[in-house]
């Protein structure tokens, strides 16, 4: 049954990626993650040793258990800067990211041919409506998007050891994940078959197939990703059952499974309560229309964001360090084992 499900999902992804992608060279690949979904590994795969990359260019702010985010205007400005460095004024992204962008921009301006694509990874942009709102369609057309999803119990188990992180709160993790999944139709509406979904529990079982899907998305030779993907494959006994089964307390699992936002996320993606075995949805289902309850949930989550933005504008620009989101980057080839 598990094999048949994986085959179904693989075929669904293949169908989703098949079609007429413009022959224009891919200029940017954006890895969109909530965090703790092996986004560093995916970024390293896409870099393929030679591609320029921008790692976590956005700062993050959080107020209590609200959703960490920039204001809408600052998010839009940051996206416009990342997708075309000529739009940067100096305040949209972190200083080191700005320097890297400026170097890439200079190289592109000096080159007589198109440069290899730029890889950008963010864990701050979870409402995918920002892509359609902030970017001209021409930017979207020359870009590719990889969205990462994961079981919320696995996300929390991976986040739990990092007690100083601003997202160290189950309710906040659930809000972010729900916003991420429920806004997928917004991304699909403008990006179409330029999007690849990477569901952690699926692709970690077959990193080579995932690498092939990514190569197909980017229009590159799959062999260029093969060695990295093969070296990263973990034995099935390390993956099943997932480690959260043994590392989380029963009370934590219950809190996640009864959280309204996590319930919405799990139902949308296909995760099962009281079991680590899931019936994960196909990409076409995840990109499909929201139900009425899901629309209401998404509206509520976005209202929380709006409330947070107003709160932050009333505060000093420089917030205390504990309020700032911080993530550590793993440079190991293997898919993170904190799964």
pLDDT in tens, 65-101: 445 556 788 888 999 999 998 899 888 888 889 999 9
The confidence score (pLDDT) of residue 18 equals: 39
Q: Which domains does the chain possess? A: 2-16+26-317 (3.40.50)
Query: Which of the four pLDDT bands, split at 50, 70 and 90, describes residue 260?
Result: very high
- In this prediction the pTM is 0.84
Residue 232: phi and psi, rounded to 5, are -95, -10
> Measured over all CA atoms, what is the biggest interatomic distance in the chain, rounded to whole angstroms?
59
- What is the average per-residue pLDDT within 200-229? 94
Tokens of 54: 């921008």
* Among 76, 99, 100, 101, CA closest to 86: 101
The pLDDT tens digits for 277-293 are: 999 999 999 999 999 99
- Beta pairing partners, 199: 149
State how far the Cα of 180 lies from the Cα of 177, in Å rounded to an integer. 5
State how far the Cα of 177 lies from the Cα of 184, in Å rounded to an integer. 11
What is the percentage of the chain residues whose pLDDT exceeds 90?
62
Instruction: Tell whether the model's pLDDT for residue 233 goes beyond 50.
Output: yes
More confident residue, 268 or 107: 268
Q: What is the mean pLDDT of the chain?
A: 83
Element (DSSP H or E) covering residue 300: helix 292-313
Tokens of 210: 């995932």
Query: Which of the four pLDDT bands, split at 50, 70 and 90, describes residue 322?
Result: very low
The pLDDT tens digits for 118-174 are: 999 998 789 999 999 999 999 999 999 999 999 999 999 999 998 877 788 999 899
Query: Which of the four pLDDT bands, split at 50, 70 and 90, describes residue 184?
Result: very high
Per-range mean pLDDT, top range of 19-23, 31-35, 105-109, 194-198: 194-198
- What is the average per-residue pLDDT within 197-213? 97
State how far the Cα of 67 lies from the Cα of 306, in Å rounded to an integer. 10
Least confident of 12-21, 201-210, 327-336: 327-336
């Amino acid at each position: 049954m598990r094999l048949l499900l994986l085959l179904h999902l693989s075929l669904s992804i293949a169908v989703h990626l098949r079609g007429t992608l413009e022959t224009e060279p891919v200029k940017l690949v954006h890895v969109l993650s909530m965090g703790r979904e092996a986004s560093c590994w995916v970024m390293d795969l896409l870099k393929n040793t030679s591609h320029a990359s921008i790692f976590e260019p956005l700062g993050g702010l959080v107020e209590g258990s609200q959703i960490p985010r920039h204001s809408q205007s600052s998010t839009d400005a940051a996206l416009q800067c990342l997708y075309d460095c000529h739009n940067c004024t100096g305040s949209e992204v972190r200083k080191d990211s700005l320097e890297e962008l400026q170097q890439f921009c200079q190289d592109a301006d000096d080159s007589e041919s198109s440069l290899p694509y730029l890889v950008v990874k963010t864990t701050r942009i979870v409402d995918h409506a920002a892509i359609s709102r902030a970017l001209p369609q021409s930017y979207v057309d020359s870009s590719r998007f990889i969205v990462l999803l994961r079981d919320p119990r696995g996300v929390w188990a991976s986040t739990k050891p990092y007690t100083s992180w601003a997202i160290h709160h189950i309710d906040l993790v659930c809000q972010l994940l729900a916003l991420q999944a429920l806004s997928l139709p917004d991304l699909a509406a403008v990006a179409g078959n330029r999007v690849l979904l990477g569901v952690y529990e699926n692709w970690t079982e077959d990193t080579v197939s995932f690498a092939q899907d990514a190569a197909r998305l980017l229009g590159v030779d799959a062999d260029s990703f093969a060695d990295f993907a093969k070296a990263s494959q973990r034995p099935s006994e390390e993956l099943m059952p997932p480690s959260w089964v043994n590392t989380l307390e029963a009370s934590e699992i219950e809190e996640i499974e009864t959280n309204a936002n996590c319930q919405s996320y799990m139902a949308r993606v296909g995760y099962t309560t009281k079991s680590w075995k899931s019936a994960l949805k196909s990409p076409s289902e995840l990109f499909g229309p929201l139900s009425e309850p899901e629309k209401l949930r998404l509206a509520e989550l976005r209202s929380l964001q709006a409330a947070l933005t107003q709160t932050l504008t009333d505060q000093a620009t420089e917030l205390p360090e504990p309020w700032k989101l911080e993530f550590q980057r793993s440079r190991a080839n293997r898919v993170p084992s904190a799964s």
